[in-house]
């Protein structure tokens, strides 16, 4: 690890960030994977929650929230809304970082709606989130070995957790994240800027810490999530809406206005859950990745090292291909819309 990152770890341990202040191979069904979801719901995060709840391979220990698509106040409420809509109301939800490590928060209401859930009008939740996402992450990852974290928002909570307790780097089972645009496929270009993916763009300093921490994340990035073969179309909204399950109908309600506006729905975050559930659906490539933290257009860019003498020191596993039909089949079946 670079000396600069070590120094950043040290500085974060004593830094008065709001979230810090809160701290006082494929799985078989008999080998259930314990997971924590770290999210910023968000339309596609909501779909990821529903998919995870209906994946028997996963035991969800809790969900942590972060500011991203909308402010953490909304992402926290949205998590509860989705859980209660589909019968997952007993899963603990912990509120996390309300802003990035360094710069001001950038949100995406223009994509996800003012409420962050496609202005679907889901009922207000009947319970409150708990404070202490970083505390929950730290205590759980230190007490439970080989937990998988699926992170589908900015990586602020994850960076703070790694800075607070570096030993987690060796205890973490797997970090699967939705983030990055790596240029490894024709679809690997940015969506927040021409070269930057949104989650990394919102908090590149946090992403830099994570990528350089030694945890070697598995990245499900825009290289595969924006492949048209993996997207939902207008007819898929009706397929979900006419299904006989709360999961499918809730999904249809959340995505309807988005699909009416754009004509499709990219399944970014559900694909990250799928990578944790069924890695055989994916092909991957080990790469050394740098995160750019400066520049109006380049902030959040994820650059792959091309020099051969550094390529031999990969820090990231990147998904380069997914089996589209099998992924969509899994998505619809688990939501009860076969």
C-alpha distances (whole Å) from 46 to each of 50, 176, 236, 248, 286 are 6, 17, 16, 12, 29
Q: b/e map of 84-113 (b: 16 or more CB within 10 Å)?
A: bbbebeebebbbbbbbbbeeebbbbeebbb
Measure the CA–CA gap between 73 and 79, rounded to whole angstroms.
Answer: 10
17, 112, 201, 268: the catalytic one is 268
Cis-peptide into 166, omega within 30 deg: no
Measure the CA–CA gap between 86 and 38, rounded to whole angstroms.
Answer: 19
- Using the 8-state DSSP alphabet, how is residue 68 labeled? S
C-alpha distances (whole Å) from 300 to each of 28, 51, 260, 307 are 36, 28, 29, 21
Measure the CA–CA gap between 262 and 33, rounded to whole angstroms.
Answer: 35
Surface-to-core class of residue 18, CB atoms within 10 Å of its CB (0-12 exposed, 13-18 middle, 19+ buried) = middle
C-alpha distances (whole Å) from 240 to each of 40, 137, 211, 250, 253 are 23, 33, 37, 8, 9
- Clarify whether 268 is annotated catalytic: yes
Measure the CA–CA gap between 170 and 147, rounded to whole angstroms.
Answer: 11
Residues recognised as catalytic: 268
């Amino acid at each position: 690890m670079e000396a600069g990152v070590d120094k950043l770890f040290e500085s974060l341990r004593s830094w008065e960030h709001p979230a810090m202040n809160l701290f006082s191979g494929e799985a078989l069904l008999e080998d259930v994977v314990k997971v924590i979801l770290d999210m910023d719901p968000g339309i596609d995060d909501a779909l990821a929650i529903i998919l995870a709840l209906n994946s028997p391979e996963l035991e969800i220990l809790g969900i942590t929230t972060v500011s991203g698509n909308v402010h953490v106040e909304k992402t926290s409420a949205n998590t509860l809304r989705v859980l209660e809509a589909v019968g997952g109301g007993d899963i603990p939800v912990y509120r996390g970082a309300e802003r990035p490590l360094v710069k001001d928060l950038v949100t995406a209401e223009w994509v996800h709606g003012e409420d962050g859930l496609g202005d679907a009008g889901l009922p207000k939740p009947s319970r409150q989130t708990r404070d202490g996402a970083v505390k929950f992450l730290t205590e759980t990852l230190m007490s439970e070995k080989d937990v998988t974290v699926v992170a589908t928002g900015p990586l602020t909570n994850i960076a703070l957790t790694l800075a607070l307790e570096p030993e987690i780097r060796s205890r973490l089972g797997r970090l699967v994240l939705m983030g990055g645009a790596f240029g490894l496929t024709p679809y690997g270009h940015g969506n927040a800027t021409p070269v930057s993916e949104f989650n990394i763009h919102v908090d590149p300093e946090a992403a830099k810490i994570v990528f350089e921490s030694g945890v070697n994340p598995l990245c499900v990035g825009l290289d595969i999530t924006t492949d048209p073969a993996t997207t939902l179309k207008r007819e898929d909204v009706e397929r979900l809406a006419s299904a006989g399950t709360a999961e499918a109908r809730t999904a249809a309600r959340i995505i309807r206005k988005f699909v009416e506006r754009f004509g499709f729905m990219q399944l970014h975050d559900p694909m990250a859950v799928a990578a944790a559930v069924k890695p055989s659906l994916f092909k991957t490539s080990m790469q050394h990745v740098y995160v750019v933290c400066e520049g109006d257009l380049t902030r959040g860019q994820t650059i792959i090292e091309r020099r051969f003498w550094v390529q031999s020191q990969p820090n990231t596993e990147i998904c380069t291909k997914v089996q589209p039909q099998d992924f969509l089949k899994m998505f619809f079946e688990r939501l009860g819309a076969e």
